[in-house]
Structure 1
């Protein structure tokens, strides 16, 4: 079946799934578009109102509208790990009410604003604080407006980020269904507590206020929609849109041959026990229109904060990865709602006690590299049955780093930096260079903004030029970033990938691994681990970061020699690598076509 006919089949199946709903498809899609617009406006409001660069520039956030039974109606186009996770946050809030013996009706009142970030109660991880505002209509609780965003600091053991933690209590301030507004009245004691227990109170308080404003925008816009169409019609449309999205995805899953597919790799370490690599394994089972991703064969939970909350991170990564492979909005023309319907056919699993489903009171602070690598392995597992929809190994790791210290006024500063990686080669194109790959999708912060706001100077920042995964379509290139500190500083690095390379596919070669170094003021170079907790730098010291380059897709000798030569001219492949990997001969800066044809056996 061709790709176009597959789309026609899935669209027909989706239309049939909502045929018995008491709403016509045009109205359903119009309301769906308006819901999507609400989520986007919530996201823009948060980004434009926030104080910290991790939200304002990197857009490490997500927003949406949710039903009272914790289903997603719409989501903003932002960091994937931040939207589907809000389902877990809301359910974690409900679980908290139940444990405390409080009914939802008594706990949730009009005018309330809740915050929540507990990693064992649905949060993606504790630095991602969710704000949730209940939406009331004529005295009835009808929906939630919610968002979540990564905060600069929550008072953890080390500034900004934390890895080598004994348990969840070392993560900093944990909130479970905590009201910061009660019936419209500001709860000063909670605001004072937050301000007194974080290193960057101005930014944290400002970002929380921006989140609240964003949720109120969502509340106002949703109520306007209810006034326009009526509550019953809006709720009918929401159910129909979720049915439609579920049917679309199920139709795509049914095109995959039933079976179990598997891929595994090893992470560097847990941030404390050096040299002890951690197995990560993805088992993907397709059965009819259902797909199960089981991470149970992965390593046991670690004694540090290098674990992944199951609800809010493990499950969200699985949902997003499957949806991205099978329902790529960039290559389809039909309407693709982004809501809980796309989660229904996907079944995440992980045994309790493994690193993808840790048990309390284990810390689960540092989790981005593991979910990135999990996504990479899901793609690899499905490569043989979906060769036209997958890419070779991506930079399935990220150097997520926090820098901190005090400025010349004695005030604490914290800067969170997500260093871009790359994608592997694709069926029809090279891998993307210098992008935040897979599930985190955060954006670059301009150098000028960094230097204006913090006692740092970015000495160089460019594409990595020391190799990529060779292939018919080459892997993307990571980045090189070298930064100098103007004052003493402390760094916590939540990284991985110093000991493995992104895999190649269908004859493509592996990419390059990551690298991290400390260059002292007197020029001495010190190799660093991919994870460092509270590492100290002196004034004029530098940190050098090289992110991984992606794997190649297809036989390198099938890559046109002219493209290899263009990469050589761009500084992306050396003459030696061109000959060794691609069979392209370059002498004195010029391509030797005859020698190339001979070497390639043409």
Structure 2
């Protein structure tokens, strides 16, 4: 790492948040009121989609996002759901425009009132192909003034294996790819496209139902935005939107200036690409702070893989970088002022990745399976900045998630597909322990109730709890991952998009490493088979079980500085053994009781 202090005499003028309001000549109260109404629109869009959807990945896990966007692909507002979805919609809309250009179609000819588009091409801005976007143009007095758009993860798009896919030859093996495809043309349903989808996915009822829910959500956004325009006037709304984006940019730039100029670096390795076992993949993060700008460069990472284990640059790599920086520097939980979440927060952040690396693959490379790479990238951005801003970062998060699809056929030969997100944990924080059983920052999906799983699929969840076999020791300990054990009631096929079987979340400032993940197949006869973190089309027979243990986070600070009473409470909760308390924390527990004197003696030795 190299650093240098900021030049306080720098004459380059950058407006503050207060300057933005004066220059825009807009009342701050009016701006915040309109901002709040825009945020409410995005939230209502999300609720409509969640409550109307058919599949549990949207209905329960909320693997989706929604918002309102300008006609030049900037985000005005976003729902509080999955960050990877909302921020990626900028890339989706831009990819649609590129599609029109490549096809020689003018935008005004391509986009009509009453149109509904779907789009999911990973090399045209999509986060990855199972995340299908629905975009509805908003017209006012015959003029295209904005977009209402959302994305959601679909159960199946007809890929090589049910639900998820990893070991793919190229993007054509991913399933159905759509580029600015109309499903409604000036209000008329395009039956040929709906029939195509119906005939080319394993779960047509759920996929068609979820797409219709997405359209309903976008229509809610369109109607609410038009009501806002009628209330304030188009010019006022557009002016407020510009002011909100400028204001958000100024707020983030002010926070970036507080970081010492310099280049910060961190690296780690992923397990493999899902085909070439034992060949680890390097992830390298180089963060450069220059005044009020910050660049995150992934170019020193491994080359693109021959499988689907790659990350689309626009829609995934850039969105993860935007969100991670914003989360570190503009945490809404600890800030009192209004913090708009829009494209303004993207302006000071500059993602980079050389073409041909994992984080910027070139066509026709597949980029289907990408969540663990962006999880780890986010973790490494935090690690790289730890020395510069130690009070704003946490120790190593799980940096991975076991995202899995299970599938099979019922007695009538119809497919069932279930997508399951198995949560990891966060690392210890400057003033608190790591969070237990949570997703990494960038996807933020929710837990699905066991009762709903067993009601909807031929599976029985035998065990689901916090993992109790270790965490990263520290003044603030790492969070605990989960243990989930499930039995298949029929033959089933699994595709596991995981990582972290071979590495442990890092500790910070004297904290210890966390625990790595683990995945096992337990046959009905009791035989135990160790599985890779990535498996494509793996077969289970009725009565077999799958055991999943997600990683536990790293520790923050010297474990001997953790109050002995807290260590003893962890012991009572089953999170620390007597041996671990002594070895890792210098805390003595005898006959189930805390020995204060022996602890003081051991810690002073």
Provide TM-score, normalisation by structure 1: 0.98
What is the alpha-carbon distance in structure 2 between the residues aligned to residue 225 and residue 407 of structure 1? 48
1:226 and 2:226 are equivalent in the alignment:
no
Q: 2:15·2:250 contact (CA, 8 Å) conserved in 1?
A: no
Q: 148, 152, 158: which one pairs with 2:151?
A: 148
Q: 51, 54, 57: which one pairs with 1:48?
A: 51
1:480 and 2:483 are equivalent in the alignment:
yes
How far does residue 115 in structure 1 lie from its aligned partner after superposition?
A: 0.0
How far does residue 578 in structure 1 lie from its aligned partner after superposition?
A: 0.5
Q: 1:396·1:438 contact (CA, 8 Å) conserved in 2?
A: no
Q: Which runs of 4+ in 1 moved over 4 A?
A: none
Q: 522, 525, 543: which one pairs with 1:519?
A: 522
- Decide which moves more: 26-35 or 123-132: 26-35
Q: 273, 285, 290: which one pairs with 2:288?
A: 285
What SS does the corresponding residue of 2:139 show, helix, strand or coil?
strand
**CA deviation string 1:51-81 (max 9, x = no partner):** 0000000000000000000000000000010
Aligned 1:421-570 pairs, distance under 5 A = 421-570=424-573
Q: CA RMSD in A?
A: 0.9
Which residue does 2:341 correspond to in 1?
A: 338
How far does residue 360 in structure 1 lie from its aligned partner after superposition?
A: 0.1
Which residue does 1:587 correspond to in 2?
A: 590
What SS does the corresponding residue of 1:584 show, helix, strand or coil?
coil
What is the alpha-carbon distance in structure 2 between the residues aligned to residue 150 and residue 397 of structure 1? 18
How far does residue 438 in structure 1 lie from its aligned partner after superposition?
A: 1.6
1:180 and 2:183 are equivalent in the alignment:
yes
Which residue does 2:102 correspond to in 1?
A: 99
What SS does the corresponding residue of 2:430 show, helix, strand or coil?
coil
What is the alpha-carbon distance in structure 1 between the residues aligned to residue 451 and residue 413 of structure 2? 23
How far does residue 552 in structure 1 lie from its aligned partner after superposition?
A: 0.1
How far does residue 22 in structure 1 lie from its aligned partner after superposition?
A: 3.1
How many aligned residue pairs are there?
A: 592
1:87 and 2:90 are equivalent in the alignment:
yes
Which residue does 1:127 correspond to in 2?
A: 130
What is the alpha-carbon distance in structure 2 between the residues aligned to residue 18 and residue 544 of structure 1? 55
**CA deviation string 1:340-390 (max 9, x = no partner):** 000000000000000000000000000000000000000000001111110
Q: 1:298·1:354 contact (CA, 8 Å) conserved in 2?
A: yes
Which residue does 2:324 correspond to in 1?
A: 321
What is the alpha-carbon distance in structure 2 between the residues aligned to residue 32 and residue 248 of structure 1? 15
Q: 2:57·2:419 contact (CA, 8 Å) conserved in 1?
A: yes
Aligned 1:247-326 pairs, distance under 5 A = 247-326=250-329
What SS does the corresponding residue of 1:94 show, helix, strand or coil?
helix
Q: 1:396 to 1:109 in 2, by over 3 A?
A: same
Alignment gaps of 5+ in structure 1 = 1-10
What is the alpha-carbon distance in structure 1 between the residues aligned to residue 447 and residue 478 of structure 2? 20
Q: 1:22·1:236 contact (CA, 8 Å) conserved in 2?
A: no
What SS does the corresponding residue of 2:156 show, helix, strand or coil?
coil
What is the alpha-carbon distance in structure 1 between the residues aligned to residue 271 and residue 326 of structure 2? 28
What SS does the corresponding residue of 2:377 show, helix, strand or coil?
helix
What is the alpha-carbon distance in structure 1 between the residues aligned to residue 158 and residue 18 of structure 2? 50
Q: 2:166·2:368 contact (CA, 8 Å) conserved in 1?
A: yes
1:240 and 2:243 are equivalent in the alignment:
yes
What is the alpha-carbon distance in structure 1 between the residues aligned to residue 233 and residue 129 of structure 2? 38
How far does residue 483 in structure 1 lie from its aligned partner after superposition?
A: 0.3
